[in-house]
Structure 1
Amino acid sequence: MTGAPATAAGGSGATPAHRGGKLGAAAVNQAGLWNIANILTMVRLLLVPGFVMLLLHDGGYDPVWRSFAWAAFAVAMITDVFDGHLARTYNLVTDFGKIADPIADKAIMGAALICLSSLGDLPWWITGVILFRELGITLMRFWVIRHSVIPASRGGKAKTLAQGIAVGMYVLALTGPLATLRFWVMMAAVVLTVVTGLDYVRQAVVLRRLGLAAERAAALEAVTVVSGMEDAAGGRRSGECAGGTAEGVVETVGEPAGEPPFGNPVGERVAGSRGAAEAER
């Protein structure tokens, strides 16, 4: 894959090969975006407006169109299960998937809850509790994402399953005992929503506290290392200065006694005077 761009660049020198490598890496990263997990996530996003139109068609009370809306909602829930499983199993996790997958989940669930409440089928307080929890946990994940990632718990998975079943039953035009059953299924989903939300808050606080403690410890260790390096450098400079001073003292002390370091100018003048007197004689 990397060879094709290098050939297209013309030549086989070091520079074309380097350019080819960069282009090849970019092509691989771009191709990695279009994997099956991300495609399923995008399909789920595209299903949201279609689901809303099907549910609200003809005033939102036509059983046939609501059955079509239930089918779209069911496909969205199924793709939610499979895209995450495929991404983890085949190492298809991407930055786009990390952001788009929770957005798609919240979009389809939020659209269903709001539409059902607007039609009068579902009390607004249930919609408010679920949406408040989902939005709050999403913001909580971004709050601690710099320190760690809050893992999906079994309770969270059970909550998602309960919500999907309950909302799906409300999307269908059920009557009689099934209508009563869907109410209790929704109550179970609300309880799981609140309990798991509180547990996520607890995990987020603990993870953030541990992350901040680790950052402080790392910063303190870095300061200690830098201080040690500065102390070692200062010790070497002090040793060099002390060595230079000792060598100067040794050189001065080692000169012969009575002989100034720049000769004996007095003796030279006396010898010169004697030579001049002998020459006069």
Structure 2
Amino acid sequence: MKMTLPNKLTLLRIIMVPFFVAALLYRDGTDSLARWLSLALFLIASFTDFLDGYIARKYHLITNFGKFMDPLADKLLVCSALICFVALQDLNPWITLAVIAREFIISGFRLVAAERGIVIAAGIWGKLKTVCQMIFIVLMLIQSNRGILSILTVVFMWLMLALTVISLVDYIWRNREVLQEG
């Protein structure tokens, strides 16, 4: 298998996850330099998500590997961040559980599809959910407890949850034939 630039960017995002987590959890999230480093790593990783998709579409480098690994890399990055926020007691666990449950359901759905030789790319609702999650995480990393940023953080938290449910329902509905027997 030839490794395309978009696929290399996806792998880079996966490699960045443990460094992001280490920076975020350093000294229980209280070290401001480490917190800013975690923000920088998250922003770079998020940009690779945009960049790999853009390059893959523009230069017709879409691969089955990319269709599978790109959403997985997103899940690793986002779920790692949300789990860290729970560990730091910055986020209610049920919010993280809802997001992770959706990701497990979609992953299971993709496995069933793959077993049937079907590769399912992400839809618009899933992409909007991912963008919203990334904005929410950036706002959480900035960690402002006052003013407009605090309000935006709450708005994006609820938007993220709504898009989590909408994208799950849309994904299953669009691909419901995967669940049909025979």
Q: 1:130 to 1:90 in 2, by over 3 A?
A: same
* Pair member with larger Rg: 1
CA distance in 2, matches of 1:92, 1:199: 26
CA distance in 2, matches of 1:164, 1:174: 16
Q: Which has the higher contact order (CA 8 A, sep 6+)?
A: 2
Q: Which residue of 2 aligns with 1:85?
A: 54
Match of 1:172 among 138, 142, 163: 142
Flag structure 2 segments of 5+ consecutive residues without an equivalent: none
Residue identity opposite 1:162 in structure 2: C
Q: Deviations 1:130-151 (Å, cap 9, x if unpaired)?
A: 0100121121122123264444
CA distance in 2, matches of 1:95, 1:116: 32
Q: Which residue of 2 aligns with 1:218?
A: none
Q: Which residue of 2 aligns with 1:184?
A: 155
Residue identity opposite 1:205 in structure 2: R
Q: Deviations 1:39-81 (Å, cap 9, x if unpaired)?
A: 1111101110110111011221223321110111111111111
Match of 1:119 among 82, 85, 88: 88
Q: 1:121 to 1:197 in 2, by over 3 A?
A: same
Residue identity opposite 1:47 in structure 2: M
CA distance in 1, matches of 2:95, 2:59: 37
Residue identity opposite 1:153 in structure 2: G
Residue identity opposite 1:59 in structure 2: D
Q: How does 1:52-67 map to 2 (within 5 A)?
A: 52-67=21-36
Give me the identity figure in percent. 36
Residue identity opposite 1:67 in structure 2: W
Number of equivalenced pairs: 180
Q: 1:179 to 1:61 in 2, by over 3 A?
A: farther
Residue pair 1:150, 1:200 contacting (<8 A) in 2 also: no
Q: Which moved more, 1:169-178 or 1:123-132?
A: 169-178
Flag structure 1 segments of 5+ consecutive residues without an equivalent: 1-28, 213-281
Q: Which residue of 2 aligns with 1:152?
A: 122
Q: Deviations 1:92-135 (Å, cap 9, x if unpaired)?
A: 23343333222211111111000001100010000000010012
TM-score where L is the length of structure 1: 0.59
Matched, 1:195 2:166: yes
Please state how far the C-alpha of 1:89 moved relative to its aligned partner.
2.3
CA distance in 1, matches of 2:103, 2:119: 16
Q: 1:98 to 1:149 in 2, by over 3 A?
A: closer
Residue pair 2:64, 2:119 contacting (<8 A) in 1 also: no
Q: 1:54 aligns to what SS in structure 2?
A: helix
Q: 2:175 aligns to what SS in structure 1?
A: helix
Q: How large is the RMSD of aligned CA atoms in angstroms?
A: 1.9
Matched, 1:100 2:90: no
Please state how far the C-alpha of 1:166 moved relative to its aligned partner.
0.5
CA distance in 1, matches of 2:65, 2:126: 22
Residue identity opposite 2:141 in structure 1: V
Q: Which residue of 2 aligns with 1:139?
A: 108
